[in-house]
Amino acid sequence: SSLWWVKLSVQPCRALVDEKFKVLVQKAPPGAQLTVRSHHHSENKHEWEAFGHYICDSTGPRGTYEGVEPMGLLWSLRPVPGSKPGLRLRKMNVETPMEVTVSVYQGHLSEDFSEQRALAAVVVERWYMAPGVRRIPVTEHDTMLCSGPGRFPAVLDLWGGGGNLMEYRASLLASHGFAALVLDYLTNELTKTTGKMMENDYFEVAFKFLEQHPQIVGSRIAMWGLSFGTAMTLKMAVYSNVIKLRCAVCYSGSHIQPVDGSVKDIKEYMGKENIRVTENQEVIFRDLTLPVPKDPAFKVDMGRLQCPLQVVVGLDDQSWPAYESAMDVMMEEAGNSHLLTLLTYPHTGHLIEPPYSPYVRTSILRPFPVKVLWGGETAAHSRAQEDAWRKTLLFLREHLYDMRNSAVTSKSNL
C-alpha cells in the first residue's frame, strides 16, 4: 500500500531529562494503524528502542509500554533484539545530550524497523546539564557541577558498589540549583593501581572542600547515597565529627554495617555468604546482610542522627534489604523520628534513577562481573522514579533553601 504523509511533532524537542514531552501525530487518515518508535544509539555503541501501537482517533496502544504515555518512549527503552545481554543505559558524558529519534511507521510493527521506511521522524535532545551548568574536575576521581556564578547549597553525591565517576545525577541536581560533588570512592586510580581503598577521612576531606569553596554556602550541604553509598552517607551523618549535614538522602540502601568500619571493612562484612542465584543465573544480593543483626556494633545508631533524612525504598529491591532495614531504623525511642521521611514504592526495584531513565531489571555489574537481578516492574518502577525524584527535589529545596511547599520548577531554558 502507498505511504501516507503525516506530520510528527515532539515538544519540547530539547529539554532536561526530567522534563516531559508530548508527541503529536497529525494528518494521518482516521482509523489508520500507526507505530510510534523511539531509538537511541548509546555512547557504548548499543542500539535501544521502544514502541507503541496506535489507531488514529482512538486509544489503545500496544508495544513496550501500555497507555497513551509519551514518556514510555524513554522509560521502556530496551536493547534491540539480538543485543549483548545484561546492558544498562547510563550517560557517561554529561556535556552532550542523549539523542533519541522518535519515528512514525505505517501499520503495527514490532520488529525489523530498519527495513521499513518511516513516515516522519524527529530527533529529541535530552540533557542532564542545563545551559550555564559548569563541570569542574577537582581531582581525577571527583567532579563538581555548579550552575553558574553565585553561591549555592551543595550535595555530596555517592553512587553504589559498581563504582566509576557517574556524573549524570549530579549534573541534573546542578541544573536545579544545587552544586554537586560526585565521588568515585570505589574504583578510582589509586584503588585500581594499589588496591588501597579510600578511608573514611576521604569523605570528610570532600565535605571540607565543599564547605570552604567560595561558590558554596558551607552551612547548607547534604549527602545523597544510593545502594552502597547509603552506608557511607549514614555513617558520616551520624558519627563524623567533621561532616555536619543540613540533610541526607538515601536510596535503596541500609544502616547495616560494621559501625567502626571503613569502605574496605563494609565490603568484607557483606562478603559472599547468602548470595542466591536464579535459574536464569541472575545474582540476588539482598540477603547479604540478612537477617538484620541485633548486635549494635553492626548497625548505625540512627537514634543519634541530627539532620533530616529521606529514605527511598523499592519494595521489590532484590539487591539490598532496603525495606527490612527501614523497618529496623529505631528512632522513636531516641525522640528523633520526626527527622525521617520514608518513601516506599511497590513493584519497584533497586536502581531508582532520575525520571524516565530506562528501566533495567537485570544487568551486568562490573567490575565483578555478574548478572544482577535488581527487581521491579517496568511501569511501576518508572512511576516510582518520577515520584521519588520530585519529592527528593522538594526535600532538598526545603532543607537547603528553606523553601517549603515550593513547586519544583526547572531552571532550564533549553
Which candidate in 317, 363, 382, 399 is catalytic? Answer: 317
Is 227 noted as a catalytic residue in this protein? yes
Q: How many CB atoms lie within 10 A of CB 85?
A: 9
* DSSP state string for 174-235: HHTT-EEEEE--SSSHHHHHH-PPPPHHHHHHHHHHHHH-TTEEEEEEEEEEETHHHHHHHH
Dig out the grid coordinates for 49 from the structure. Answer: 528502542
End-to-end CA distance of the chain: 40
Cα–Cα distance measured from residue 1 to residue 271, given in angstroms and rounded to the nearest whole number: 62
Is 141 noted as a catalytic residue in this protein? no
3-state secondary structure of 267: helix
Q: Give CA torsion, residues 318, 321, 322, 324, to 10 deg.
A: 130
Strand stretches in 306-380, DSSP E: 309-314, 340-345, 362-365, 370-373
Q: How many CB atoms lie within 10 A of CB 121?
A: 14
Dig out the grid coordinates for 204 from the structure. Answer: 570528610
Which candidate in 76, 103, 227, 357 is catalytic? Answer: 227
- Rounded to the nearest 5°, which phi and psi values hold at 169? -70, -40
3-state secondary structure of 332: coil
Cα–Cα distance measured from residue 96 to residue 319, given in angstroms and rounded to the nearest whole number: 31
Amino acid identity of residue 407, one-letter, is A
Is 317 noted as a catalytic residue in this protein? yes
- 294 burial type by CB count under 10 A (0-12 exposed, 13-18 middle, 19+ buried): exposed
Of the CA atoms within 13 Å of residue 279, those in its CB half-sphere come to 0
Which candidate in 39, 40, 350, 381 is catalytic? Answer: 350
Q: How many CB atoms lie within 10 A of CB 141?
A: 22
Contact 151, 217 (CB under 8 A): yes
39, 45, 99, 156 from 176: Cα distances, Å: 27, 30, 21, 15
The secondary element (H helix, E strand) that includes residue 33 is strand 33-41
**Active-site residues: which are they?**
227, 317, 350
